[in-house]
Amino acid sequence: MSQMFATRQRKLWREYPLWNWVGLFPFFIFIVFFLVLPSLRLFTGAFTDQEGGLTFDNLKVFQNPNVLKAYIMSLQVSAITAFVGGFFGFLVAYSITQGGAPRWMRNVISTFSGLAANFGGVPLAFSFIATIGQTGIITAMLKKACFNLENYGALAQFLASGGVNVSDITNVCPLNPYTYGFSLYSLSGLVLAYTYFQFPLMILTITPALEGLKKEWYEASTNLGATPAKYWRDVALPVLMPSILGASLLLFGNAFGAYATARALTGGSIPLVSIYIGQQIRGDVLGNPNEGYALAFGMVAIMTLTIVAYSLLQRRATRWMKS
Amino acid sequence: MTHLELTHIHKSFGASVAVEDFNLTVKQGEFVSFLGPSGCGKTTTLRMVAGFELPTSGNVTLNGKDLTYVPPNKRNVGMVFQSYALFPNMTVAQNVGYGLKIAGKSKNEIEERVREMLSLIQMDKFYSRYPYQLSGGQQQRVALARALAIQPELLLLDEPLSALDAKIRFELRQEIRRIQQKLGITTIYVTHDQEEALSLSDRIVVMSHGKIEQVGNPFEIYNFPQTRFVAKFVGSLNTVTATVVDPAKGIASFDGINLEIAQGLNGKNKGEEVTIAIRPERFNFLAEQRKDNVFDCTIENITFLGSVVRVQMKIGNSIFNMDTFNRPSLKLPNIGDKEQVTCSNKAVLVLAG
Amino acid sequence: MDEIMSKKRTSFFAIFWGILALLYFFLPIYGTLDFSLRMERGILSFKAYKIIFADPRFWEGFRYSVTMAVITIIVSAAIFVPTIYWMYLKVPQARPIMEIITILPFVIPGIILVFGLIRTFSRPPFQLTTSTFKTDILMIAGYVIISMPYMFRAVDVGMRSIDVRTLTEAAQSLGSNWFHVLADVIIPNLRLAILGGSLICFATVMGELILADFLVRPALGPYMVRLGLTKAYEPAALAIISYSLTWFSLGLLQFFSSRSERQKQQVITT
């Protein structure tokens, strides 16, 4: 009996090879419910008004000064950490691929990059508070790195000649960041914390590209008379540029979307788009739920642009590397 | 008694035709090879017998039962793959016993049969080994045992020796034949190696571009190829285009040289062009023995191939190869010498197409 | 000559940046560890840890998150393994679509995903927020989506390394139906890949904050945030515990993958 059913089944499948897609349905159904539907909800909600009609009015939310502040801050943080993390990460990645760092260093950094790139959120915030917060361990060490100006007469004289009143200053603690107005709960604190997972992400992303730099290119260029600096300027950096830009974009997107770290560290005191959306979820802070959707939509739009630019750059990068 | 029957099997993938009008009947216990170059459709046809491909039209019948639409796990055919396909997570014993486990046999029965199979392939000591601990040849033997353990009605082998070294290939193919004959199981063997096909098969199906070129036993296929393709593919062959001179007497000429064809040129007209072929081993030097056709030639090249010496010679404007056995008494000419060679009029084949 | 000189120079350069990187990696961890041990003034003690391990709410959060993680892993594997298998075997054309879909949660910020999920499922017709059981279902679905990029990739890579088609055909020729093929042949050979995906899944769920916070469920993340609002030393200890969990999971993965590598090296050629 089952043989006949199987026979008929096979005849059916012969007719419609597209039937094979049925096997993927459980997955697609799950995706529709928990990915597509929520996305649609946000997307359509962004362009719906309170009564349910189509509108672009929700986009006025971007004129809200708080919202603007949040966007500017988010863009700032993302751009700065993308640059700082990218720069630092690139140099470290270079060191462990071609720069000749010792083998043990290479392994430790690689392994740790894989771990640290996924760090974030609450434990990271706590770590930074414990390390460089007001009562942090490193802060304490830095605070203790003081010296008595009286013992350095020459230095005191030098400072006095420059117009600094040295009579009140006895203890100089130049390494205490808090004297310079640093706060972990400010933009600079956030940047410091974000960089912790940004620069390993850069290392992970740019290492394949660096390894793709063929040794022969360097050898050919020196053979033709170029110095290492010229090689970097004329060959390596141009070839790497798409990958570097792409990786930076990745870092940018990563920071732009981050929520947990900022929440745990600043508690919402720094205006960021992700934090703002979080507040919107909790309770309607904008007065119009659909404006919240527009806010989210704006974020998605920026992320999409970032990712599209990233994949275009990746394609360019791999094209050159393939040769 | 017909065991397996393939009737008007046709298979196309979209616009391209893989197998065209394939017809074959196989007797119980027969060893049939599908022989042909890559892409000729031999593997596709085999897979249709196994059930992994569905024919676009046509039928597969086994013992009178129509198998065409039966799913592969219900056909009771054993299959041996080119890549061995042993299950990496199972021991040799578990691999061989897998089909029996699926069939719900008892543990004792499975163990007994597995040991029986392992001694059949002479690998008793490998009971608990894992595939990654075996060499290629050993893995393939286990794969064979696994396919045979379920006592299938048909044994299908898809280029089973292609991935192995030459020496192992030779040993293993003897063993496959030995086991097949011992068990008397109907077997289809797909290969592109004509030596394999010739030495193992009861019958060979030569295929090209999805069509059957010729079906016959090894002797027929080799000595009486019916098409140009078969003649060229099986064994080595000298071919040349000749013009018919006298159809009745069976004389054709090329480059101004006449040759006698015992087969005759019936049905051909004078002046018509035909393709004639002569196997290299059918030539010999005139000095040894005189046969019907005598040619003047110039020696172009001499190659030692071990037991055979291949002499490349120019007859008229065409290059011919002559194979002769390598023996101490052989007096070979030098390159550039003019010699005379001869061949029987029966050795000259007229090819269709 | 120039090359030798430049190699030496770059070595210093490399070591400088390498050390800087190591400092940046390890100082915060060292700082956290040190801080967590200083609850009692003047001495190093485990007091902060003791307090945490005695806190029933810690264990509640831990238990909840671990349970959620395990269920997420099971659900993920149950959905992805057959789906990816089917894709390899029958519908390879679906690959581009699958890759785009599974990379989306990686690209879309977590806060947005949660926003969408909550808004969609907190009102009819799909209301899942009425009971804790239903909310937990929503949590698991959310977790599965969030860890999808990693799980999918892990299983995909694993499946690529075994010849899925031929093994399936071999099993079928021996009489297997789909269930047997998956259970006896495919999944046992994917053990390592599934383990890898599972461990990353586990780490992700344990550290997840947004979903649990907004859905008000007693996971470890919200517990940590609440603790951070009022306490000083305990959060540092929690951070260390959290890191240890992650390292333990990844260490486990390393151990199992290197063991299977060593096994493969024992190939005997006869």
Q: Which of A24, A113, A307 should one mutate to test binding to chain C, selecting the residue with the greatest count of C CBs within 10 A?
A: A24
| A32-41, B115-124, C37-46, C230-239: least confident range | C37-46
Chain A: touching chains (3 or more CB pairs < 8 Å): B, C
Q: Which chain C residues are Cβ-neighbours of B72 within 8 angstroms?
A: 169, 172-173
Contacting C residues, span 136-165, partner chain A, CB-CB under 8 Å: 141-142, 144-145
CA angle C173, C176, C180 (to 5 degrees): 145
Contact criterion met (CB below 8 Å) for A205 and A94: no
pLDDT value at residue C269: 38
Q: Is residue A53 part of a domain?
A: no
Mean pLDDT score, B111-123? 92
- Chain A CB within 8 Å of residue B52 CB: no
**Residues A230 and A289 occupy one common structural domain:** yes
Measured between alpha carbons, how far is C109 from A302 in angstroms, rounded to an integer?
Answer: 11
Domain limits at C172?
64-265
**Residues A145 and A78 occupy one common structural domain:** no
- Residue B93: pLDDT above 60? yes
Q: Is residue C4 part of a domain?
A: no
Mean pLDDT score, A1-20? 59
**Residues A178 and A189 occupy one common structural domain:** no
Mean pLDDT score, B69-77? 89
Tally A–B CB contacts below 8 A: 15
pLDDT value at residue A3: 54
Chain B nearest CA to A5, separation (Å): 10
Q: Is residue A2 part of a domain?
A: no
Q: Which chain B residues are Cβ-neighbours of C170 within 8 angstroms?
A: 79, 81, 85-87, 143, 146
Boundary-marking domain end, from A46, A69, A86 = A46
Q: Is residue C182 part of a domain?
A: yes
Rounded to 10°, the helix C220-230/C233-264 angle is 150
pLDDT value at residue B328: 76
Chain B nearest CA to A9, separation (Å): 9
* DSSP three-state, residue A213: coil
In angstroms, the Cα distances linking A179 to A152, B67, C27, C31 are 21, 87, 21, 20
Q: Which chain C residues are Cβ-neighbours of A293 within 8 angstroms?
A: 119
Residue of B nearest to C179 (CA): B102
Interfacial residues of B (vs C; Cβ cutoff 8 Å)? 50-52, 71-79, 81, 83, 85-90, 98-99, 102-103, 132-135, 137-138, 143, 146-147, 150
C176–B73 CB contact, under 8 Å? yes
- Residue B37: pLDDT above 50? yes
**Residues A223 and A268 occupy one common structural domain:** yes
Q: Is the model's pTM score more than 0.95?
A: no
C167–B89 CB contact, under 8 Å? no
The pLDDT tens digits for C170-201 are 999 999 998 999 999 999 989 888 988 898 88
* DSSP three-state, residue C148: helix
Residue of A nearest to B54 (CA): A14
Give the phi and the psi of residue C41 in degrees, each rounded to 5. -60, 130
Give the closest of C13, C94, C144 to A24, CB-based: C94
Give me the helices (H) in C127-232, please.
Answer: 132-160, 164-173, 178-180, 187-189, 191-207, 210-214, 220-230
pLDDT value at residue A173: 67
The pLDDT tens digits for B299-349 are 999 888 888 888 899 988 888 888 888 877 777 888 888 888 888 888 888
The confidence band for B32, taking pLDDT boundaries of 50, 70 and 90, is: very high
Reading chain C (270 residues) residue by residue, the pLDDT tens digits are 444 444 444 577 788 888 888 888 888 888 888 888 888 877 788 888 888 888 898 999 999 999 999 999 999 999 999 999 999 988 888 888 898 888 888 888 888 888 888 888 887 777 777 788 888 899 999 999 999 998 998 999 888 888 889 999 999 999 999 899 999 999 998 988 898 889 888 888 888 888 888 888 888 888 888 888 888 888 888 888 888 888 888 788 888 878 777 766 654 433
Mean pLDDT score, A119-132? 84
Number of domains in chain C: 1
**Residues A171 and A240 occupy one common structural domain:** no
Rounded-to-10 torsion of CA C197, C200, C202, C205: -120
CATH code of the domain in which A265 resides: 1.10.3720.10
Q: Is residue C236 part of a domain?
A: yes
**Residues A169 and A192 occupy one common structural domain:** no
**Residues A69 and A155 occupy one common structural domain:** no
Chain C nearest CA to B50, separation (Å): 7
Q: Which chain B residues are Cβ-neighbours of C89 within 8 angstroms?
A: none
Chain C nearest CA to A236, separation (Å): 15
- Residue A15: pLDDT above 70? no
pLDDT value at residue C133: 85
Give the phi and the psi of residue B257 in degrees, each rounded to 5. -105, 130
Mean pLDDT score, A296-315? 86
**Residues A177 and A287 occupy one common structural domain:** no
pLDDT value at residue A1: 46
Q: Which chain C residues are Cβ-neighbours of B132 within 8 angstroms?
A: 263-264, 266-267
Contact criterion met (CB below 8 Å) for B159 and B190: yes
DSSP type of residue C122: S
Give the closest of C170, C188, C268 to B81, CB-based: C170
Q: Is residue C31 part of a domain?
A: no
Measured between alpha carbons, how far is A53 from A318 in angstroms, rounded to an integer?
Answer: 46
**Residues A69 and A200 occupy one common structural domain:** yes
Chain B nearest CA to A21, separation (Å): 18
Contact criterion met (CB below 8 Å) for A109 and A92: yes
B83–C185 CB contact, under 8 Å? no
Q: Is residue C95 part of a domain?
A: yes
C162–B78 CB contact, under 8 Å? no
- Residue B155: pLDDT above 90? yes
Q: Is residue C52 part of a domain?
A: no
Boundary-marking domain end, from A183, A198, A223 = A183
Domain limits at A37?
15-46
B132–C166 CB contact, under 8 Å? no
B71–A14 CB contact, under 8 Å? no
Contact criterion met (CB below 8 Å) for B61 and B92: no
Q: Which chain B residues are Cβ-neighbours of A13 within 8 angstroms?
A: 54
**Residues A308 and A166 occupy one common structural domain:** no
CATH code of the domain in which C145 resides: 1.10.3720.10
Chain A nearest CA to B44, separation (Å): 16
Strand-pair category, B348-351 with B338-343: unpaired
C171–B98 CB contact, under 8 Å? yes
- Chain A CB within 8 Å of residue C214 CB: yes
Q: Which chain C residues are Cβ-neighbours of A41 within 8 angstroms?
A: 116, 119-120
Q: Is residue C243 part of a domain?
A: yes
Q: Is residue A6 part of a domain?
A: no
The pLDDT tens digits for B213-264 are 999 999 999 888 888 888 888 888 888 888 888 888 888 888 888 888 887 7
Mean pLDDT over all residues of chain A?
80
Mean pLDDT score, A38-47? 85
Percent of chain A topping pLDDT 70: 83
Measured between alpha carbons, how far is C235 from A130 in angstroms, rounded to an integer?
Answer: 8
Amino acid at position C231, single letter? K
Mean pLDDT score, A222-233? 82
Give the closest of A41, A95, A124 to C120, CB-based: A41
DSSP type of residue A130: H
Mean pLDDT score, A240-268? 86
B74–A7 CB contact, under 8 Å? no
Q: Is residue A3 part of a domain?
A: no
Q: Which chain A residues are Cβ-neighbours of B70 within 8 angstroms?
A: 3, 6-7, 10
Q: Which chain B residues are Cβ-neighbours of A6 within 8 angstroms?
A: 69-71, 74
Q: Which chain A residues are Cβ-neighbours of B10 within 8 angstroms?
A: none
In angstroms, the Cα distances linking A292 to A52, A306, B82, B146, C111 are 15, 21, 60, 64, 12
pLDDT value at residue C5: 44
- Residue A14: pLDDT above 60? no
Number of domains in chain A: 3
Cis ω on the peptide bond leading into residue C125 (within 30° of 0)? Answer: yes
Residues contacting C84, CB < 8 A, separation 6+: C98, C152, C155, C156, C159
Residues contacting C28, CB < 8 A, separation 6+: A124, A127, A128, A130, A131, A132, A196
Q: Is residue A52 part of a domain?
A: no
Chain position carrying tokens 């690209």: C107
Tally A–C CB contacts below 8 A: 239
Mean pLDDT over all residues of chain B?
89
Q: Which chain C residues are Cβ-neighbours of A203 within 8 angstroms?
A: 21
Residue of A nearest to C236 (CA): A126
Q: Is residue C116 part of a domain?
A: yes
A109–C18 CB contact, under 8 Å? yes
Q: Is residue A260 part of a domain?
A: yes
Residue of A nearest to C224 (CA): A122
Q: Which chain C residues are Cβ-neighbours of B71 within 8 angstroms?
A: 172
- Residue B352: pLDDT above 80? no
